[in-house]
Amino acid sequence: MDLDELLGSNGDSGVRKRRRRQTQDFLRPYIAAKLEFLPETFVLGDGKTYNSFYNKPLPGQQQYRTFILAALKDRDSMFTVSPYSDPMMVKLHSGMSHHVEDPEMLWVMGPVLAVVLIIIIVITILLFKRYYYFTEKYDQSSSTEIVFHPLFLPAGMREHPPISVCALADHIERLKANDGLHFSQEYESIDPGQQFTWENSNLEVNKPKNRYANVIAYDHSRVVLIPTDGIPGSDYINGNYIDGYRKQNAYMATQGPLPETFSDFWRMVWEQRASTIIMMTRLEEKSRVKCDQYWPSRGTETYGMIQVSMLDTVELATYSVRTFALYKNGSSEKREVRQFQFMAWPDHGVPEYPTPILAFLRRVKACNPPDAGPMVVHCSAGVGRTGCFIVIEAMLERMKHEKSVDIYGHVTCMRSQRNYMVQTEDQYIFIHEALLEAATCGNTEVPARSLYTHIQKLTQVSPGDTVTAMELEFKKLANSKAHTSRFISASLPCNKFKNRLVNIMPFESSRVCLQPIRGVEGSDYINASFIDGYRQQKAYVATQGPLSETTEDFWRMLWEHNSTIVVMLTKLREMGREKCHQYWPAERSARYQYFVVDPMAEYNMPQYILREFKVTDARDGQSRTIRQFQFTDWPEQGVPKTGEGFIDFIGQVHKTKEQFGQDGPITVHCSAGVGRTGVFITLSIVLERMRYEGVVDMFQTIKTLRTQRPAMVQTEDQYQLCYRAALEYLGSFDHYAT
């Protein structure tokens, strides 16, 4: 088949005329190959046959121009043709070796959206695999071969090539220069990708199915449902296929389902054999509905032809995992689908740190079966946070295989498949920061069964180093320094005297706020931070040992935030210095501002003292019991030799919390509220995760704590203790019941 026959079969006379005009000075064009999948390298003139097309050898001493035609599979009427390349001279040399005269010429050999490779649907959809460039090719035969290497390079992508992982930090610093000017320019230069049709989204029968009028599903990449006879528009859902890294249609990006689209959503999950749903929003944010609850809270619900049964729900601090069983009417097949709902994305903007979403991505990847259909990803509109998730996940894969990232190119590609993907500049910047953290920190998660071997490796000195891997890992925690703007309230003149140490202050974003007292400046401040637990947000309050000037604030904090368990990890004096003011009465009741504190009981245990107090609000007479656990076995210098006693202590604290059923956080303090306090909270999280998931990630756990309060787990000795205690815990999983 020659080119005119092919174009004739597609019925586009304009393309035929344009091609004829361009070929007046050349021999008749012909098709060298038809490809179903894009190869790593394509050799023009290799003498092979590709889907009935003969890729004939190229005679020497002639000029050649090449072009590519791409068409959608099973839809020959949808195709595009690239422009001609510049002329290339194939010269004949002595020894019968041949080469292309212009080795630096760029050429189009492009990616994929469900296409038959003669090569792509519309040029902007080619963006996924980057450019192919000519290289010299020498051959000892009498025929000449021209070698193509990966890919089409539009103008914007030529200016923003992939970045190697080792250069990523410097690249981001350059983009941040001049108050982020280069980030703004780069983001704004990305093709918005709105040159495609969305006729199905605009049909009157389908308009009510779109959550937002301006967020539509392009026709060429939309997820097409199996139509129901007699129901117009029954093949429509506002969702598009999105390519991943080296994987076509790896995702289905869609909006948060509406009540009228619940059945369509579950039909899509069933028809596409999806095993994983990613939900990047809460149901409500800022008192506005972002997504309707499309799943049953318990039991079974029927959505059209699909029955969905709730099997299990696991709620963690930053995300929830729900497991459903799906059944289709008329089928005996049962399928299991997991939904991962990320809940740590703030109502406005982007997360302050990427650590939680990277942990979320690791969990998702570990749970998604390799033979599953496309992953369903949605937020509210299905473009902003959804786009962030997809880019980060795809680029993490690229980093693993190619040691580079192509954020600009991947966002451009996604926008040719669904409009507005990665909706804001802040989201674009956040993607960079997430990938930088992943590149810098690596994957430090290990199965619990491998913890001993892992610790053995960490305690060894690597070749060429003078310190252990454990020390290097701990030093990585200190790489990021917090800007002074993060300590706004703590730095106010009226609050400075309330900080025990000038360099240990709470971040503004996570500080515990007290109810302000009218006319008293700074009365809402205490040096204390909310810390997320394994399962619950704000499960702990990490605070300094109270000063005499802040004792009243301390009791006010306990009352206002309903904290009825206090953990004290220091003596009042150590090494001849005050570490904590005695903030409780020893024998008779004492009043601290509004609160009367009565000592009720004191129990001396081998490693700790338990004190019980009755606290009464003098304003209205309400009272509650507050229990204080003081650990007495921590040496004044260094750390405990073994973690076993401390593990038992952690277990007793949590048992008491569960026994008395209080909803408020556990308040933990030492002297500065970061060192021993950090160890207590770290082990509380790590041990619980070990029990439920069978994995340990000490580094990321502490890194997450440090995003909520600086310097948590303050010394390398404390860091080693965390590992040692976790290892000691492995043999005794019954320390505290669930």
**Bridge partner list, 426:** none
Closest CA to 259 of 295, 311, 235: 295
Residues 256/377, Cβ–Cβ less than 8 Å:
no
Residue reference for tokens 């590519």: 68
* The residue to which tokens 């649907």 are assigned: 121
Query: 572 is written with which tokens?
Result: 């009042």
535: helix, strand or coil: coil
Angle at the Cα of 557 from the Cα atoms of 555 and 559, rounded to 5 degrees? 70
| CA 437/CA 443 separation, integer angstroms | 10
Query: Which alpha helices (H) appear in 189-245, and where do they start and end?
Result: 199-202
Q: For residue 482, give every residue at least 6 positions away whose Cβ sits within 8 Å of its Cβ, in sequence order, or none.
A: 507, 710
Helix (H) or strand (E) holding 79: strand 75-81
Q: How far apart, in whole angstroms, are the C-alpha atoms of residue 295 and residue 111? A: 36
How many whole angstroms separate alpha carbon 460 and alpha carbon 466? 10
* Bridging pattern class, strands 334-342 and 276-279: parallel
Distance between CA 58 and CA 197 in Å, rounded? 40
In terms of residues, how long is the chain?
Answer: 738
CA nearest neighbour of 34 among 18, 47, 49: 49
Catalytic positions, written as ranges: 379, 670
Give the Cβ contact number of residue 291 at 10 Å: 23
Please report, as a single letter, which amino acid is at residue 425: E
N-terminal to C-terminal alpha carbon distance within the chain = 71
Distance CA 127, CA 701 (A): 37
Q: Where do runs of H (alpha helix) occur along 229-376?
A: 262-271, 355-367
Residue 476, judged by CB atoms within 10 A of its CB (0-12, 13-18, 19+), counts as: middle
Q: How far is CA 104 from CA 107, 132, 146, 206, 484, in A?
A: 10, 10, 13, 49, 49
Of the candidates 66, 163, 155, which has an alpha carbon nearest to the alpha carbon of residue 109? 66
Nearest Cα neighbor of 570 from 538, 546, 592, 534 is: 546
Nearest-10 crossing angle of helices 469-476, 451-458: 90
Q: Comparing C-alpha atoms, which of 233, 306, 220 is closest to residue 271?
A: 306
Q: Where are the beta strands (DSSP E) in 280-434?
A: 284-285, 288-289, 300-303, 306-315, 319-328, 334-342, 375-378, 404-405
